[in-house]
Amino acid sequence: MLGTPIKDLDFVVEGDAPEVARQLAEELNVRAVVHARFGTATVVLDTGGIDLVTARQEDYTRPAALPVVSPGSIYDDLARRDFSINALALPLAEDRPKVLDPHGGLDDLRRGVIRGLHSKSFVDDPTRILRAVRYERRFGFHLEDDTLILLKSAVAQGYLGLLTGDRLRHELERILQEDRPGPVLQRAWELGVLASILPSLGDERAPARLAALAPPVPAPGGIEPLAYLGALVYPLSSGAGEALINRLNLPATWAEVVRDTIGLRELEPELAVPDMERSRLFHLIEGFCQPAALAVSRVTASAPVARRLSEYWNELRFVSPALNGGDLLAMGVPEGPLVGRLLRELKDARLNRRVATVDDERRLVRQSLGRLGGRPDDG
């Protein structure tokens, strides 16, 4: 309907979707992953997956709970969707199918409107709050007036706090997978969504940091998605960072970004010291992950810090000596810790531009060994 590429295929079956998935997987000689509790299944292909779901009704026993599901018709199934633009279906059993649109989704598509289907939509499933913001910014739509009021009310009443960390993180991950996560996160901040997840994420400088990170237009390959997480957590204390890691049950890679961003921010006074040797800069930043370094380089108020972080990631981390351990042994360096020590010395010399050629490195090794009383082979 929007003329955009289709990324996945979703099918609703009035009947037994897992059984249809099993038969389809057998016919295609692939496997089917079945989720019996929800009557859903995925047929796994090399190019992605085909999702099949049994048409169903949903009953929410309490706010933010996972629904109790039971079989239903396609109209029951469409009525349980999040927004009218997602409550559309195309019958495949008809020669000239017409779109099923019982909730006015086509008109909302034409008008560019995100509209919920009922007044308890955000209460039943608060993850829809994050999805509403994501769709709004992805498509350049706007939240329908009543839907916006209901969303703000759900945020103010703390329904996002009832969600598990895994469900919240899953929605955040989807935001970071957008072509332009920055505007989505800025809108989430504006609506109080980020502060509702963790109060410290709602600081007044968050929009400026996100804007500093995001390019004016999507670049090929884009910005490392987790750098946006770094931009959000930049001002947090170590304690607040750990609280976020625990709240969202962050995996190791995400937790590393949180901790490294905070760690680099705390290093800024040292990184801004004038006339720092390049080797010193290398050893200060070595070990910090790239998304954190990218985030800090974009959002820091210190030009020297930004310049040095960029220098590390664009140049210094690629510097290495021409000689390796085998070369040092061939020169007569005895096996043991001395080899590693000399390689580190060579690397620092390269970083500080004290050596530029293999011959320079060999001379440096001989000088170092001479100080230590060694007698390397001059070959």
pLDDT digits (tens, 9 = 90+) for 64-82: 888 888 889 999 999 999 9
Query: Would the pLDDT of 58 be above 70?
Result: yes
DSSP annotation string for 317-375: GG---S--HHHHHHTTPPSSHHHHHHHHHHHHHHHTTS--SHHHHHHHHHHHHHHTT--
C-alpha–C-alpha distance, residues 358 and 172, integer Å: 49
pLDDT digits (tens, 9 = 90+) for 161-180: 999 999 999 999 999 999 88
Query: Would the pLDDT of 370 be above 90?
Result: no
Residues 259 and 303 in one domain: yes
C-alpha–C-alpha distance, residues 191 and 178, integer Å: 19
Report the SS3 class of residue 284.
helix
Residues 267 and 352 in one domain: no
In a domain, 109, yes or no: no
In a domain, 259, yes or no: yes
In a domain, 190, yes or no: no
Report the SS3 class of residue 150.
helix
Give the per-residue pLDDT at 216.
56
pLDDT band at 373 (very low <50, low <70, confident <90, very high): low
Residues 258 and 334 in one domain: no
Give the per-residue pLDDT at 221.
53
Share the mean pLDDT of the chain: 92
Residues 236 and 195 sit within 8 Å (Cβ to Cβ): no
Give the per-residue pLDDT at 66.
85
DSSP annotation string for 86-144: G--B--SSSSS---B-TT-HHHHHHHTEE-BSSTTHHHH-THHHHHHHHHHHHHT-EE-
Residue whose entry in the numeric block shows the structure tokens 């390689």: 343
Q: What percent of the chain has pLDDT over 70?
A: 96
Query: Would the pLDDT of 146 be above 70?
Result: yes
Q: 377 Cβ partners below 8 Å, 6+ apart?
A: 330, 331, 332
Query: Would the pLDDT of 116 be above 90?
Result: yes
Residues 287 and 305 in one domain: yes
In a domain, 242, yes or no: yes
Give the per-residue pLDDT at 223.
75
Q: In Å, what is the CA distance from 221 to each residue of 44, 218, 224?
A: 26, 8, 8
Q: What percent of the chain has pLDDT over 90?
A: 80
pLDDT (average), residues 232-246: 96
Q: How far is CA 28 from the centre of its chain?
A: 33
Residues 212 and 231 sit within 8 Å (Cβ to Cβ): yes
pLDDT (average), residues 36-47: 87
- Out of 85-94, 109-118, 150-159, 215-224, which region has the weakest mean confidence (pLDDT)? 215-224
In a domain, 288, yes or no: yes
Residues 311 and 330 in one domain: no
pLDDT (average), residues 31-46: 89
C-alpha–C-alpha distance, residues 169 and 251, integer Å: 10
pLDDT digits (tens, 9 = 90+) for 174-224: 999 998 899 999 999 999 999 999 998 999 999 999 999 876 555 445 578
C-alpha–C-alpha distance, residues 142 and 324, integer Å: 59
C-alpha–C-alpha distance, residues 373 and 283, integer Å: 28
Give the per-residue pLDDT at 378.
47
Give the per-residue pLDDT at 8.
79
Give the per-residue pLDDT at 287.
92
Residues 211 and 313 in one domain: yes
Give the per-residue pLDDT at 39.
86
- Out of 27-41, 205-219, 318-332, which region has the weakest mean confidence (pLDDT)? 205-219
In a domain, 282, yes or no: yes
**DSSP 8-state code for residue 80:** T
Among the candidates 318, 337, 363, a domain finishes at 318
Residues 270 and 367 in one domain: no
Amino acid at 122: F
pLDDT digits (tens, 9 = 90+) for 126-145: 999 999 999 999 999 999 99
Q: Is 170 exposed, middle or buried (0-12, 13-18, 19+ CB in 10 A)?
A: middle
Residues 210 and 303 in one domain: yes
How many angstroms separate the most distant Cα atoms in the chain? 90
Q: β-strand 48-54 against 9-13: which pairing, if any?
A: parallel
Residue 239 domain boundaries: 205-217+231-318
